[in-house]
Structure 1
Amino acid sequence: MLVQPIVGYHSDRCTSRFGRRRPFIAAGAAFVAIAVFLIGFAADIGHLSGDSLAKKAKPRAIAVFVVGFWILDVANNMLQGPCRAFLADLSGMSQKKTRTSNAFYSFFMAVGNVLGFSAGSYTHLYKLFPFSRTKACDVYCANLKSCFFISIALLLTLTIVALSYVRDKPWSPEGSPGEGDDEEDEIAEAKQAVPVPVPFFGEIFAAFKNLQRPMWILLLVTCLNWVAWFPFLLFDTDWMGREVYGGDSSADSDQLKMYDRGVRAGALGLMLNSVVLGVTSLGVEALARGVGGVKRLWGIVNFVLAICLAMTILITKLAQSNRRYTTVNGGTHLLPPPAGVKAGALALFAVMGIPQAITYSIPFALASIFSNTSGAGQGLSLGVLNLSIVIPQMVVSVASGPWDALFGGGNLPAFVVGAVAAAVSGILAFTMLPSPPPDSPSIKRAATAAFH
C-alpha cells in the first residue's frame, strides 16, 4: 500500500545523474528478475535446503516462494509508479499525450498477459531449457520455470533498451531547466542542488490536504470502480469452476476434475479478455472523442461493468438449471455445462476487457492531468491514486469470504456488490467528475521530462 507513494515521492525528488525515474525503474526491474528466479526455483532451493521428495509438504520451498512473491509485489509497485510518472513527465502538459501514453501502457499490459497465457499453455516449453527439469521440479514446474526465464530475459532487455534510449532529466529544486540547456548543464545543476528534506508522511498528508476537488472525486470514483473489479479479478476462475461447471475444489475426484476443467476454461476466458483489453486500449482516444470526453467514456464503461457483473447471476442460473449427469458403470458423473452456457461465460470474460482497458488508462491519465497544477509531483500523486486501488483490494480480499458465507457461499454475493459499486461509480463519473480543460494552443507539443 505504501510502496508506490514512497517510491513516487522519492522519484519526484531524485537528483541522480541518471534522472529521476530511471534509477527506480532499473531497480524495480532487477528485483522483479530476482523475485521471479526465487519463485521458479523454490522447489529446487527447498530440496537443497532439506525438503524431502517423499513428503507432500515442502515447507522450505513454500518459504522461498512466499519470500519471492513478496519481493515481486514490492518490485512491481517500484516499477509501476515511476513508469506511469515517467509517461506523465514525457507528455508534458499535453493531455492528449498523457491519455495516449496511458492507453499504450494498458495495451502493453494486455500484450504481456497474452504472451504469458500463450507460453503457459505450451506444455513442452521446458525442452528449450532442459536443465529446468530436476528431481524436485517436474514437467509442469519446469514449464513454469522456462516461462520465467523468457520473461526475465525480455524484461531486462526491454528495460535496458528503454532506459538507454529515453532521456530523463535530473530534477532541480530551482525549477525545470530551459529547453535549450545541455544535458551536461542539467546534470551539473542537479548535483549542486541540495533539496530540503521533507518527511515522507508529512508530505503525503500535505498531498491529501492540498488535493483539489477534482482529485478527490477521482479518488472516490476510482475506489468504487475497484470495489467493483476486485471480486471478479480475484474469483473469476473460481466462479467458472464452481458456479458454471458445478465443480468443487474440496469434493470428490469427479467434482474436483470438473472444477479443474472450469478453471482452465476461465483461463481461456482471461486470454480472450486480454485480447479485447489490448484492442480496446488502442482505441481509447477515439472512443473518448466519440462519446464526448473521457469522463463520459469512463462513466459508460462503468455501467457496462455493472451489467457484466449482473450477468454472472443469469449465467450461473442457466448453468445450474441445465446441469447434466451421465451414468457409467452404475455411477453418476457430472458433465460440463452446455455449449451455450460456456460460450456465454467466455463472452462475458471477453466483453469485460472493454471496461478494463479504460480502467487501466483513464484514471491514471486524469490523475496526471489534475496534478499538473499541484506541487506534489507526478510520482506522489499517482502513488496517492494507488491508495484508492489498494484499499478496496484489501477490503474485498478480507470481506468477500464472510460476505459470501452470509448468503450460503459461492461468488455471486460479492459480484452483486461489485455490480452496485460499478453503477454508483458510473453515476459519479457522469455527475461529479469534472472534465479536464482542453489543451491550450500555447502548450508545446514536444515531449519533456520537466518536473510538475
Structure 2
Amino acid sequence: MALGNILGYATGAYSGWYWIFPFTVTPSCSISCANLKSAFLLDIIILVITTYITVASVQEPQSFGGDEAEHPGTEQEAFLWELFGSFRYFTLPVWMVLIVTALTWIGWFPFILFDTDWMGREIYRGSPDNPEATQSYHDGVRMGSFGLMLNSVLLGFTSVVLEKLCRKWGAGLVWGVSNILMALCFVAMLVITYVAKNMDYPPSGVPPTGIVIASLVVFTILGAPLAITYSIPYAMAASRVENLGLGQGLAMGILNLAIVIPQVIVSLGSGPWDQLFGGGNAPAFAVAAGASFIGGLVAILGLPRARIGSSRRRGGAHNR
C-alpha cells in the first residue's frame, strides 16, 4: 500500500505528463487539465492490467451448486440481522475499539478531503475559481501531492517497525500516542494557516520557503499515525470479536461501520461547518484535532496495553 501510494502521489506531483501524452492538451484543456487527464489515463491502464492479472491468476471455488440451488434458503441467516444483532454480545473492550476508530476517522477525513486543497488555497493563496490565481492553486496541489508522497514513505517505514512498537509499548498505547500526534499535526496546520495568512508574500506570489517546508514536514509526520490507523484497529477488532465467537469477517463489517458513519458525517457537515466560520479549511481541521486528541485519550485510558510477546506466552490473555 505504501509503495502504491508513493507512486500514485508522485504521479500527481509531476507536472510534465502533457509532454508524454501531448494529445491530452486541447483548446479546452490547459496544461494542468492535461496533467490530470494523463494521471487518470495511467490509472485506467494500471487498473485494467491488475484486474486482468487478478482474474486470470486467482482460482476461486464456486460457492453455488446444485444442492444450494435446490435449497436456497436453508440455514442462511439475514446478514443485516446478524450484523446488528451481534451488538448485544459486545464487551467493553470491543466498544472501546469502535469508539476510538470512529474518533480517529473523524480526525482523518477532513485531512483526506482537504489536504491538497489546503496547500493550494491557504499556503499558495490560489483559487480554482479565479483565473488569475488558478496556476498558484495548481502549484499548491502538486506540492501537496509531493507532501503526501513523503507521507507514504514514512507510512511504509512505520509499517516495518510497527510490530516492534506494539511488542514494547502495547497496541493500545501505540494507537493512543499516534492519535495525539495526529492532533498535534492538525494544530500545527492551523498555526501554519494563521502565519501564512498574516505574512507578506513576494510579488511573484510564491509562498516563503519556510512555510512550504513546515507544511511538508507536517504532511510527512502524519504518515506514522496513518500506518497505525491502517493496521492496529483491524487487528484489535478481529481478536476481540473472534474471542466472542462472532467471526473475523463480521468483525471487519462492524469496524467498517465505525469508519463509514464518521465519513458520512464529515462529508455532509464539513462544508457547512467551514462556511459557518467564513470559509477556509481551518474549522474542519480544528474538529479533526479535537476528535483525534479525544480518541488518543480514550485509547490510552480505555484499551488494554498487553504486549504482543507477553500475550502470546499467556495463551492469548490480551483478549480479555
The two structures share one fold, judged by TM-score above 0.5: yes
Q: What is aligned with 2:154?
A: 276
Q: Which amino acid aligns with 2:127?
A: D
Q: Which amino acid aligns with 1:400?
A: S
Q: What is aligned with 2:9?
A: 117
- Does 2:121 match 1:242? yes
Alignment of 1:259-408 (within 5 A): 259-290=137-168, 292-326=169-203, 335-408=205-278
Q: What is aligned with 2:77?
A: 198
In terms of fraction of residues, the more helix-rich structure is: 2
Given that 2:18 and 2:24 are in contact with CA atoms closer than 8 Å, whether structure 1 keeps it comes out as: no
Is the alpha carbon distance of 1:118 and 1:154 closer, same or farther for their aligned partners in structure 2, counting shifts above 3 Å? Answer: farther
For residue 439 of structure 1, report the CA deviation from its aligned partner: 2.2
Q: What is aligned with 1:219?
A: 98
Distance (whole Å) between structure 2 residues aligned to residue 227 and residue 341 of structure 1 = 26
For residue 133 of structure 1, report the CA deviation from its aligned partner: 9.8
Distance (whole Å) between structure 1 residues aligned to residue 283 and residue 263 of structure 2 = 16
For residue 387 of structure 1, report the CA deviation from its aligned partner: 0.6
Alignment of 1:92-131 (within 5 A): 109-120=1-12, 121=14, 123=17
Is the alpha carbon distance of 1:405 and 1:136 closer, same or farther for their aligned partners in structure 2, counting shifts above 3 Å? Answer: closer
Is the alpha carbon distance of 1:118 and 1:240 closer, same or farther for their aligned partners in structure 2, counting shifts above 3 Å? Answer: closer
Is the alpha carbon distance of 1:222 and 1:233 closer, same or farther for their aligned partners in structure 2, counting shifts above 3 Å? Answer: same
Q: What is aligned with 1:181?
A: none
Q: What is aligned with 1:417?
A: 287
Distance (whole Å) between structure 2 residues aligned to residue 407 and residue 119 of structure 1 = 34
Given that 2:124 and 2:140 are in contact with CA atoms closer than 8 Å, whether structure 1 keeps it comes out as: yes
Given that 1:249 and 1:259 are in contact with CA atoms closer than 8 Å, whether structure 2 keeps it comes out as: yes
Distance (whole Å) between structure 2 residues aligned to residue 317 and residue 366 of structure 1 = 38
Is the alpha carbon distance of 1:216 and 1:275 closer, same or farther for their aligned partners in structure 2, counting shifts above 3 Å? Answer: same
Identity of aligned residues (%): 40
Q: What is aligned with 2:53?
A: 157
Q: Which amino acid aligns with 2:147?
A: G
RMSD: 3.2
For residue 441 of structure 1, report the CA deviation from its aligned partner: 6.6
Q: Which amino acid aligns with 2:205?
A: L
- Does 2:111 match 1:232? yes
Counterpart secondary structure, 1:322: coil
Alignment of 1:128-139 (within 5 A): none
Unaligned runs of 5+ in 2: none
TM-score with structure 1 setting the length: 0.61
Q: Which amino acid aligns with 2:43?
A: C
Given that 2:242 and 2:251 are in contact with CA atoms closer than 8 Å, whether structure 1 keeps it comes out as: no
Given that 1:295 and 1:429 are in contact with CA atoms closer than 8 Å, whether structure 2 keeps it comes out as: yes
For residue 244 of structure 1, report the CA deviation from its aligned partner: 1.0
For residue 150 of structure 1, report the CA deviation from its aligned partner: 2.4
For residue 131 of structure 1, report the CA deviation from its aligned partner: 10
For residue 146 of structure 1, report the CA deviation from its aligned partner: 3.3
Q: Which amino acid aligns with 1:356?
A: L
Query: Which of 432, 439, 443 matches 2:312?
Result: 439
Given that 1:370 and 1:436 are in contact with CA atoms closer than 8 Å, whether structure 2 keeps it comes out as: no
Unaligned runs of 5+ in 1: 1-108, 172-189, 327-333, 444-452
Distance (whole Å) between structure 2 residues aligned to residue 131 and residue 379 of structure 1 = 46
For residue 359 of structure 1, report the CA deviation from its aligned partner: 0.3
